[in-house]
């Protein structure tokens, strides 16, 4: 027997017999470990549990003491601040997920794959301990060149802020302020925005003092009917454009297909000035229309004209239609009158007026005056001078007026016709008084 034991011992094994002298002694929980070929096996210093459960992980709970880790479902293996492991669903301390792979995108995904229940959601939660803690935020960084943050400024009424900085670190209370949404419902953007508001809702765009601040509504779709607009709507109260100081102004610069609409389904639309005037401007600061404090409206671009015959035109032949000469303009608002002719710039209803002063027709039997437009001819007067003019009278003046329908590019002139009697007559002219004139305006 002794020889057999030595033989097996030589090959690194042991044969247990009922001879106590031949059995090695060991502490409870230790395990027999091979020491290599030709070396006697020995028992471990560390102790192990005599049993384990299914899926249980063993770890050193103390020096030379191996213990089974309590199992947990759907958990990750983590350690606490002193390195003690456990299975948990939450992590403590800072963690960094880093990889450098050319041409690949690193992805962090939170997914709930259930599509059968409306309560099956996915959530990413970033939180702090309370009102006396720091700020919860997310940061987006481009190397050391630029960083952006979106988060709540705990020290500023829990305002949700957007900030940026030209380095690798930024938070809601540092860097350049871009915008904010307050708990009162305010939404503010701009380099000089404060991020705070009163109890009323607002949308504010701000820039530094003496710098322009603009809202651009763009529609890059080509073709007619593609508009960019700002709409202000209210179902019950007042809507408006407002400045925060009487020294500031509200300017509306409206170009083609850029429209400012204000809708109030309950009470209409008001443009209000506490004092002074209300003015609407176009391009190059052109005043489109305005009202003064007394409520009088002025339309400086509304088509209107007044022209007269500055000197008498004698030797007019009888028997045919003659276009009356109006060689002097008193005003031509819009520049639509030229060569005795008014041309309508837009389709509308035009008030047209004329006075025609004629001499040398005492013996004539026909004297008629007309306002002639592209759409139709209007008779201003029609008389028999021989029957109507007293003997010895030198001149006669008649006037006429009409609210005429005119299309864009239509024209209007004044004409007269004289028949009978002597061969010629005179269309009287002059500047003071003005005997022969033609005026008009766009009424609606």
Digit-coded pLDDT (tens) for 278-322? 666 555 556 666 676 666 777 888 999 999 999 999 988 888 899
Instruction: State residue 2's pLDDT score.
Output: 45
Average pLDDT over residues 376-384: 93
Digit-coded pLDDT (tens) for 103-154? 888 888 999 999 999 999 999 999 999 999 999 999 999 888 889 999 998 8
pTM recorded for the entire structure:
0.47
User: Which of 29-33, 327-331, 440-444 has the least mean pLDDT?
Assistant: 29-33
Q: Which of 357, 359, 360, 365 is nearest to 400 (CA)?
A: 357
| H or E element at residue 386 | helix 385-388
Digit-coded pLDDT (tens) for 38-56? 888 889 999 999 999 999 9
Average pLDDT over residues 180-208: 57
Instruction: State residue 355's pLDDT score.
Output: 96
Q: Are 361 and 367 in contact (CB under 8 A)?
A: yes
Q: Are 183 and 202 in contact (CB under 8 A)?
A: no
The C-alpha atoms of residue 58 and residue 84 are separated, in whole angstroms, by 12
Structure tokens at 170: 């930024």
Instruction: State residue 25's pLDDT score.
Output: 72
pLDDT at 217 over 60: no
Q: Are 404 and 347 in contact (CB under 8 A)?
A: no
Q: Which of 388, 327, 399 is nearest to 357 (CA)?
A: 399
Q: Tell me: cis bond preceding 433? Omega within 30 of 0 counts.
A: yes
For the chain, domain boundaries: 2-69, 137-206, 304-442
Digit-coded pLDDT (tens) for 385-438? 877 766 655 678 899 999 999 999 999 999 999 988 767 889 999 999 999 999
The C-alpha atoms of residue 149 and residue 147 are separated, in whole angstroms, by 7
Q: Are 351 and 422 in contact (CB under 8 A)?
A: no
Q: Are 189 and 179 in contact (CB under 8 A)?
A: yes
Q: Which of 353, 308, 325, 306 is nearest to 426 (CA)?
A: 325
Instruction: State residue 379's pLDDT score.
Output: 96
Q: Are 13 and 6 in contact (CB under 8 A)?
A: no
Cross-strand pairs, 383 = 367
Q: Is domain 304-442 annotated with CATH 2.60.120.40?
A: yes
The C-alpha atoms of residue 166 and residue 147 are separated, in whole angstroms, by 6
């Amino acid at each position: 027997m002794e020889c057999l034991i030595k033989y097996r011992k030589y090959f690194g094994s042991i044969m247990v017999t009922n001879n106590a002298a031949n059995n090695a002694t060991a502490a409870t929980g230790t395990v027999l470990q091979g020491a290599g070929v030709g070396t006697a096996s020995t028992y471990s210093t560390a102790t192990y549990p005599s049993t384990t459960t299914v899926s249980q992980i063993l770890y050193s709970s103390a020096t030379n003491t191996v213990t089974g880790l309590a199992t947990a479902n759907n958990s990750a293996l983590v350690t606490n601040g002193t390195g003690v492991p456990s299975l948990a669903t939450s992590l403590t301390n800072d963690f960094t997920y880093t990889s450098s792979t050319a041409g690949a995108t690193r992805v962090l995904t939170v997914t709930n794959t259930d599509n059968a229940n409306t309560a099956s959601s996915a959530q990413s939660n970033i939180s702090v301990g309370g009102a006396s803690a720091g700020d919860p935020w997310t940061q987006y960084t481009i190397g050391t060149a630029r960083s952006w943050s979106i988060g709540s400024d705990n020290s500023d009424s829990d305002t949700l802020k957007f900030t940026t900085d030209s380095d690798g670190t930024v938070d809601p209370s540092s860097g350049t302020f871009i915008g904010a949404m307050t708990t009162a419902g305010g939404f503010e953007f701009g380099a000089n925005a404060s991020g705070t508001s009163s109890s009323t809702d607002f949308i504010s765009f701000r820039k530094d003092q003496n710098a322009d601040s603009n809202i651009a509504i763009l529609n890059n779709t080509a073709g007619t009917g593609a508009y960019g607009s700002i709409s202000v709507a209210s179902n019950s109260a007042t809507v408006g454009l407002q400045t925060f100081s009487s020294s500031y102004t509200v300017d509306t610069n409206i170009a083609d297909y850029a429209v400012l609409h204000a809708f109030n389904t309950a009470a209409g639309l008001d443009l209000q000035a506490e004092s002074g005037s209300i003015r609407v401007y176009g391009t190059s600061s052109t005043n489109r229309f305005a009202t003064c404090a007394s409520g009088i409206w002025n339309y400086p671009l509304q088509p209107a004209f007044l022209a007269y015959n500055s000197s008498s035109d004698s030797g007019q032949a009888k028997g045919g239609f003659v276009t009356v000469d109006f060689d002097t303009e008193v005003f031509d608002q819009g520049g639509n009158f030229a060569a005795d002719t008014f041309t309508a710039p837009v389709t509308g209803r035009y008030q047209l007026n004329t006075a025609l002063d004629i001499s040398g027709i005492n013996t004539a039997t026909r004297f008629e005056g007309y306002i002639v437009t592209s759409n139709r001819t209007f008779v201003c007067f029609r008389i028999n001078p021989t029957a109507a003019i007293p003997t010895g009278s030198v001149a006669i003046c008649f006037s006429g007026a009409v609210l005429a329908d005119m299309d864009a590019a239509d024209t209007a002139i004044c004409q007269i016709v004289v028949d009978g009697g002597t061969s010629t007559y005179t269309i009287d002219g002059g500047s003071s008084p003005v005997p022969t004139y033609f005026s008009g305006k766009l009424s609606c």
